[in-house]
Amino acid sequence: MKFETYQLIVPIIGFAGILWTIRQHQKGNNTLFETGLWCFLWIFISMVAIFPNKTTLFLSRTIGIKDHINAIIFIGLAISFFLNFRMFNSMKKMNRQMTEMARKMAIENKQREQQ
């Protein structure tokens, strides 16, 4: 079996995604479910890139994708998952910040009303 460049690049991106996911969980930014889901997705994409022949056979039979396009698809999927993951975490962080700000403003307004 000849090893292609994308079969190295995609798992590296997947590994970076897993490390980032675990770090976000340790910081308290992700729930255990979210961490597990993201880790599963990173592992799945990496495994598909490492073992493309089985995937290619399945894909070519079901939707007609051929061998030569696999590299582009797998790298694109890995990058897409990574960017979506980063955007998801940024949105969660903004939501937390907005919630904190709204709580502080509500407390300040209540204190002003009592004075």
Counting the structural domains of the chain, the total is 1
Inter-CA distances, 72 with 13, 44, 77, 115, Å:
14, 17, 8, 64
Has residue 1 been placed in a domain? no
pLDDT of residue 36: 94
Cβ pair 79, 15 in contact under 8 A? no
Reply yes or no on whether the pLDDT at 40 is more than 60.
Answer: yes
pLDDT digits (tens, 9 = 90+) for 62-92: 766 665 566 667 767 888 888 898 899 889 9
Has residue 20 been placed in a domain? yes
Listed in sequence order, the residues at least 6 apart from 101 whose beta carbon sits closer than 8 Å to its beta carbon are none
Listed in sequence order, the residues at least 6 apart from 63 whose beta carbon sits closer than 8 Å to its beta carbon are none
105: containing domain = 6-114
Has residue 78 been placed in a domain? yes
Has residue 106 been placed in a domain? yes
Distance CA 63, CA 54 (A): 14
Has residue 64 been placed in a domain? yes
Find how far residue 6's CA is from the centre of its chain: 18
**The pTM of the whole model exceeds 0.75:** no
Tokens at 47, concatenated:
């495994």
- The amino acid at residue 68 is H
Cβ pair 13, 82 in contact under 8 A? yes
Has residue 42 been placed in a domain? yes
